[in-house]
Amino acid sequence: MPPDPLLAALGVPANLVADVIHSLRARSETVATAESLTAGLLCGVLTTVPGASVAVRGGLVVYATELKARLAGVSAELLSEHGAVHPDVARELAVGAAVRCGATWGVGLTGVAGPDPQDHVRPGRVYLGISGPATLRVDTIDLAGDRHAVRAGAVRSALLELRDVLRS
């Protein structure tokens, strides 16, 4: 079977995505995403695996700041005080994805793909939140390159972190 064009475009190994889906299925757990800078790419990548519908509940594309509050439940006060690109926003996106989509795990992504800074945050800075059973973590990721490279790197980083959390 030829490589999936989305995975190829993002430089995501098919076995990485398959590992995440397999781990979720083996645990009878599910995942949902709330994505800002990646605008649904992570959820799209997760669904490239046949049978992913057993493990992937869905995703929220919250590119606009007000949608982070309205759809994902991010605190309006947090957004007003710190802006849309902040570690606590990633944490609340992850929790909101799980709660709003009825999933075991939530993944939240916010950051700046560039070329310009946003909310006083430089391009390439990404915050990744993961919530799940007895887990609530936020990672800061610094990526180099253009918009495509940052967004692709954010998706790869999220998959790697989620795989590691599911294996632990």
> The domain that contains 103 carries what CATH number?
3.90.950.20
**Distance between CA atoms of residues 84 and 93, nearest Å:** 10
Tell me if 88 is assigned to some domain: yes
Q: Express as a percent the part of the chain with pLDDT over 90.
A: 97
- Per-chain mean pLDDT for the chain: 97
Tell me if 68 is assigned to some domain: yes
- 3-class state of residue 116 by DSSP: coil
Give the pLDDT of residue 92: 98
- To the nearest 10°, report the CA torsion of 88, 89, 94, 95: 70
> Does the pLDDT of residue 1 top 70, yes or no?
no
pLDDT band for 2, please (50, 70, 90 cuts): confident
Residue with tokens 């990744």: 128
pLDDT band for 3, please (50, 70, 90 cuts): confident
What is the pLDDT averaged over residues 20-34? 98
How far is the CA of 57 from the CAs of 47, 53, 154, in angstroms? 10, 7, 20
Tell me if 152 is assigned to some domain: no
For the stretch 32-84, pLDDT in tens is 999 999 999 999 999 999 999 999 999 999 999 999 999 999 999 999 999 99
- 3-class state of residue 72 by DSSP: coil
**Domain total for the chain?**
1
Give the pLDDT of residue 82: 97
- 3-class state of residue 161 by DSSP: helix
Beta bridge partners of 130: 107, 137
Please tell me whether the overall predicted TM-score, pTM, comes out greater than 0.95 for this model: yes
Tell me if 164 is assigned to some domain: no
What is the pLDDT averaged over residues 120-141? 97
53: DSSP letter:
G
Residue with tokens 């998706």: 155
Give the pLDDT of residue 119: 87
Tell me if 165 is assigned to some domain: no
CA 152 distance to own-chain centroid: 11
Domain range enclosing 26: 5-146
Question: How many Å is the Cα radius of gyration of the chain?
Answer: 15
